Amino acid sequence: MARTCLAIVLAAGESTRMKSNKSKVLHPIAGRPMIAHVTGMLTDCDVDHVALVVGRDAEKVSEAASLDGLKLSSYTQVERLGTGHAVLAAREAISRGFDDVLVLFGDSPLLTADTLSRAREALTQGVDVAVIGFMTEQPSGYGRLLIENGELLAIREEKDATEDERAIRFCNGGMMAINGAKALEYLDAIGNDNAKGEYYLTDIVEVARQKGGRAVAVEAPEDELAGCNNRAELAYLEKLWQERRRRELMLSGVTMIAPETVFLAWDTVIGQDAVIEPNVVFGPGVTIEPNAIVHAFSHLEGALVRSNASVGPYARLRPGATLGEGAKVGNFCEVKKADIGAGAKVNHLTYIGDAEIGAGANIGAGTITCNYDGVNKHLTKIGANSFIGSNSSLVAPVSIGDGAYVASGSVITKDVEDNALALARARQEVKPGRAAIIRKRIAALKETLKKARAQD
């Protein structure tokens, strides 16, 4: 849009119903603070500036809301005198003369740019206040939107509504767009002649009409306007967010066998024709390229999985894990801060940390890169097409050359050159008949202990 726009985000609540030691807007949805979902959405809305109204945990809330490419200023609401009073905490920003002023809530992370665009579009058509509302089968507890001939007459709180008005299913979502040229005039005219002595933003509709302005309601899906006041509602928002994002990914060409069991992070990227099996959890920072597969019961965070690679089942990829094209990390394996080369295999029961694995290498079951000395982490390098036998321990820093072969059960503490065979284990001894002697000795000891306990 050519029009300038200020978004005021209200995030100053005390969050008492969350029963938490931090502001509710800092609680995460899909691994991201709620407030960041709101300001992140604004980056797609042609918003020129964001005025963040803060109270509790002001510094932390401002930090969480500040995103690259977003011009944001914070304003503190010292007293809690209602939503109208909260908006006026950003008076300095409003007075700059933006064409459109949006009022949003920091605990409504599902609001979309499309809804805000439709509210702003109403302003371009001569409307002064566009309230965002929703239709619901359960309107109890919500303010009703009173519509006549397409105009919004008022927002009627349920306790003040008549019986006919309570039957209305079109309810107030709380958020709105206001004509920037008249915003301060309308906001300053809101009174506090009510039982609580507070300034209610909802009164702006009647204020605007009294001053000759027009007000309308813009409908949005009910779920999109859901807010959060307690942990149960936080879980509900998470559910809605996950359902929305899963659907988007599946429609983009991702296969999810049991989508309701897959949990995504806010920034999860999954390419076309990738397959996600049941019970997979994505933490932040994961990219799955096309045609890769993540098998059941795997957990990924901060990882890159290249095309045609395979993860799991029961695998864990920690931050810094990169799987090359066609690579495989199998069941009960953990990879951290390691590059697994193209076509390399880490099939089962293995820990690979702080490592570089060459293309085509094969890492046997039970292999461990011993990367931590109690103070520092050290690097293990395993060359292309090398073979690491099962139950081997590679004590970093150490390098295994291209095409090298490490015998099963070895503890490798020195570098192994290209195409060399490394054995680092004690020579096996076999003593005939000794097993029977040991069993007899153990049985005698057991009998002695049994008699001693009986005497006690």
Q: State whether 97 and 161 are in the same domain.
A: yes
Report the pLDDT value the prediction gives residue 214, as an integer from 0 to 100: 96
Question: Which CATH number goes with the domain that contains 96?
Answer: 3.90.550.10
Report the pLDDT value the prediction gives residue 167, as an integer from 0 to 100: 93
Number of structural domains in the chain: 2
What are the structure tokens assigned to 168, written together?
């209305």
pTM exceeds cut of 0.85: yes
* Count, residues in the chain: 456
What are the structure tokens assigned to 210, written together?
């009294």
Is residue 433 assigned to a domain? no
What are the structure tokens assigned to 18, written together?
């969350």
Domain boundary among 194, 225, 256: 225
The rounded distance, in Å, linking the Cα atoms of 382 and 361 is 8
Q: State whether 124 and 259 are in the same domain.
A: no
Name the active-site residue from 27, 49, 295, 348: 348
Report the pLDDT value the prediction gives residue 423, as an integer from 0 to 100: 94
Q: State whether 215 and 279 are in the same domain.
A: no
Q: State whether 87 and 219 are in the same domain.
A: yes
Report the pLDDT value the prediction gives residue 196, as an integer from 0 to 100: 82
The rounded distance, in Å, linking the Cα atoms of 322 and 81 is 52
Question: Which CATH number goes with the domain that contains 236?
Answer: 2.160.10.10
Q: State whether 135 and 10 are in the same domain.
A: yes
The torsion angle over the Cα atoms of residues 425, 426, 430 and 433, rounded to 10 degrees, is -120
Q: State whether 287 and 406 are in the same domain.
A: yes
Q: What is the DSSP string of 138-203?
A: --TTSPEEEEETTEEEEEE-GGG--HHHHT--EEEEEEEEEETTTHHHHHHH----STT----GGG
Domain boundary among 210, 225, 240: 225
Longest Cα separation, the chain: 106
pLDDT averaged per 10 residues in sequence order, the chain, 456 residues: 91 90 96 97 93 95 94 92 94 96 97 96 96 94 93 91 92 96 96 86 95 96 94 97 98 98 98 98 98 98 98 98 98 98 97 98 97 94 98 97 96 96 90 93 92 88
Report the pLDDT value the prediction gives residue 210, as an integer from 0 to 100: 95
How many other β-carbons are positioned within 10 Å of the β-carbon of residue 232? 9
Quick check: 106 and 25 in contact, CB under 8 A? yes
Q: State whether 267 and 402 are in the same domain.
A: yes
3-state secondary structure 237-297: HHHHHHHHHHHHHHHCCCEECCHHHCECCCCCEECCCCEECCCCEECCCCEECCCCEECCC
Q: State whether 211 and 249 are in the same domain.
A: no
Is residue 326 assigned to a domain? yes
What are the structure tokens assigned to 435, written together?
């097993």
Q: State whether 120 and 9 are in the same domain.
A: yes
Is residue 47 assigned to a domain? yes
Element (H, E) at 32: strand 32-33
Q: State whether 314 and 216 are in the same domain.
A: no
Domain that holds residue 213: 5-225
The rounded distance, in Å, linking the Cα atoms of 84 and 103 is 10
Report the pLDDT value the prediction gives residue 346, as an integer from 0 to 100: 97
Q: Left if phi > 0, otherwise alpha if psi is -120 to 50, otherwise beta: which for 421?
A: beta
Q: State whether 71 and 128 are in the same domain.
A: yes
Domain boundary among 183, 202, 225: 225
Is residue 397 assigned to a domain? yes
Is residue 17 assigned to a domain? yes
Is 37 labeled as catalytic in the residue annotation?
no
